[in-house]
Structure 1
Amino acid sequence: MKTITFNQKKTSQISLEFDELIPDEIYSWEKADFEKYMVPIGNSRFPLTDYFDIEVEGSAESPEEIKMILNGDYGRVKYIGTKMGAGEIIVNGPVDLHCGSQMKGGSILVNGDAESYAGREMEGGSLTIMGNTREFCGCSYIGDWRGMNGGTITIHGNAGKQLGECLSGGSIYVKGDCDILAGIHMTKGFIQIDGDVTRWPGGQMKNGDIVINGELGRLLEGFVQEDIIENPEIDGKDFSGKYIKYVGDIALNGKGRLWLDAEKNRHLLY
């Protein structure tokens, strides 16, 4: 097992890019390799050690044996864990854009907030965010229609708009509240939101499941109430209590399922 610790010395006004610093690429690196490395910042590169003190302990023969610990404010560090396939990354602070994007395996733990596009186009592994996320978590990227299709994202705080946009697989769990249009264009997969949702989850949804355990502010007209089910099994998971089951978005002949806690959403019953 090898532990690589980044202790931040200073921040940058322009975001550093960490997509090359993933366990798959650096598992064989020693301290001297990090001291030689030039990190991308905008259109230039600068010594990584201008920004971090780096400690390397132990040895590894594969990416699975790597633990990266990032201490400090990473609010100006993009692409942490992008395309990683194995290993573990722990960030003790906030992170910038694209954390865990296109991730294939391994695990990332963020002990802070995450900027936009966390877990976008994710294929596997687990991304856990202890704080809040901004918009487009687990989504597709600009101009594409393929969002997250595997793995698990867990958000312990609140999520921004268009959570799981174009979701085609995998699971997203939100312990807090969620903004508008969760699961828009969703074709498969599972989203569970334990807090309140402002409005319009599942817009243009074709398939998959969205569970809302809090109160929904406004439901889209494209969802039809099908039944009230007690203790349903949803996506292989058992839920206790009564849930209102809706199907939609009928504007696209969608067969997606939206499940609302009946007690919290009496105002939507008819």
Structure 2
Amino acid sequence: MKTITFNQKKTSPIALEFDELIPDTIYNWEKSDFDKYMVPIGNSKFSLSNYFDVEVGGEAESPAEVKMILNGDLGRVKYIGNKMSDGQVIANSSVDLHCGAEMSGGSILVNGDAESYAGREMTGGELEIKGNVKEFCGASYIGDWRGMTAGMITIHGNAGKQLGECLTGGEIHVKGNCDILPGIHMNKGLIQIDGDVTRWPGGQMQNGDIVINGTLSRFLEGFNQEEVVIDPTIAGKSFSGKYIKFTGDIARNGKGTIWLAANKNRHLL
């Protein structure tokens, strides 16, 4: 096992781009490789050693044997874990844009909040965010139609707008509340929200499941109420309690399903 620890020396007002510093590319690097590495910052590149002191311990024969630990204020470090396929990344603060974007394997733990586009277009792996996440988590990028297709995102705090936009697979679990339009344009997969949702889940969805265990303030008109189900099994997972089942979005001839906890949404019965 190889542990690579990045201890921050100073921050930058312009974001550092860490997309090249993933287990896939650095599993065989030594300290001297990091000392001479030039990290992209805006339109230029600067020595990584200006910003981080890197410690390397142990050996690895593959990315799977690498643990990256990032310490400091990472609020201006973006693309952490971008396109990684294996290994482990631990970020011990809040992080900037695109954390875990396009990752296909391995795991990322963020001990803080994450900016927009966390887990964008993931195809595998596990992304866990201990705090809150902003807009477009697990979503597609601007102008694309396919968001997250596989993998697992767990958010212990709250989620911003358009969570799982264009979701085509995988699972997103929000343990807090969620802003507007979770699951918009959703085609497949599971979104579970344990807290409250502001309004309009599943707009234009065609398939997949959204489970809301808190209160929904406002629904879209394009969903038909089907029945109340006790202890349903949804996307292979067992849920306890009564859930109101809705299907839609009929505006897209959709066959998606939204499940609302009946005890929190009696106004919809």
Q: TM tier, shorter chain?
A: over 0.9
Q: Runs of 4+ in structure 1 displaced over 2 angstroms?
A: none
**Secondary structure in structure 2 of the residue aligned to 1:53:** strand
Distance 2:71 2:108 in 1: 14
Matched, 1:217 2:217: yes
**Secondary structure in structure 1 of the residue aligned to 2:124:** coil
Distance 1:138 1:86 in 2: 18
Q: RMSD of the alignment, in Å?
A: 0.3
Deviations 1:171-201 (A, max 9, x none): 0000000000000000000000000000000
In structure 1, what is the equivalent of residue 148 of structure 2?
148
In structure 2, what is the equivalent of residue 129 of structure 1?
129
Distance 1:135 1:243 in 2: 27
The alignment's TM-score, normalised by the length of structure 1, stands at 0.99
In structure 2, what is the equivalent of residue 192 of structure 1?
192
**Secondary structure in structure 2 of the residue aligned to 1:263:** helix
Distance 1:143 1:212 in 2: 28
Deviations 1:144-197 (A, max 9, x none): 001000000000000000000000000000000000000000000000000000
In structure 1, what is the equivalent of residue 91 of structure 2?
91
Distance 1:70 1:156 in 2: 20
Distance 1:187 1:219 in 2: 19
Distance 2:27 2:241 in 1: 47
Matched, 1:265 2:265: yes
| Structure 2 residues not aligned, in runs of 5+ | none
Distance 1:232 1:189 in 2: 16
**Secondary structure in structure 1 of the residue aligned to 2:245:** strand
How many Å apart are 1:130 and its aligned residue?
A: 0.1
Identical aligned pairs, as a percentage? 76
In structure 2, what is the equivalent of residue 43 of structure 1?
43
Distance 2:17 2:119 in 1: 16
How many Å apart are 1:267 and its aligned residue?
A: 1.0
Distance 2:244 2:152 in 1: 25
How many Å apart are 1:268 and its aligned residue?
A: 1.3
Deviations 1:47-82 (A, max 9, x none): 001001110000000000000000011110110000
- Give matches, 1:1-270, under 5 Å: 1-269=1-269
Distance 2:157 2:49 in 1: 32
Distance 1:186 1:154 in 2: 18
The alignment's TM-score, normalised by the length of structure 2, stands at 1.00
Distance 1:141 1:237 in 2: 29
Deviations 1:21-42 (A, max 9, x none): 0000000000000000000000
Deviations 1:105-154 (A, max 9, x none): 00000000000000000000000000000000000000000100000000
**Aligned residue identity for 1:110:** V
Aligned length: 269
Distance 1:234 1:150 in 2: 17
Distance 2:51 2:230 in 1: 55
Distance 2:7 2:119 in 1: 24
**Aligned residue identity for 2:67:** K
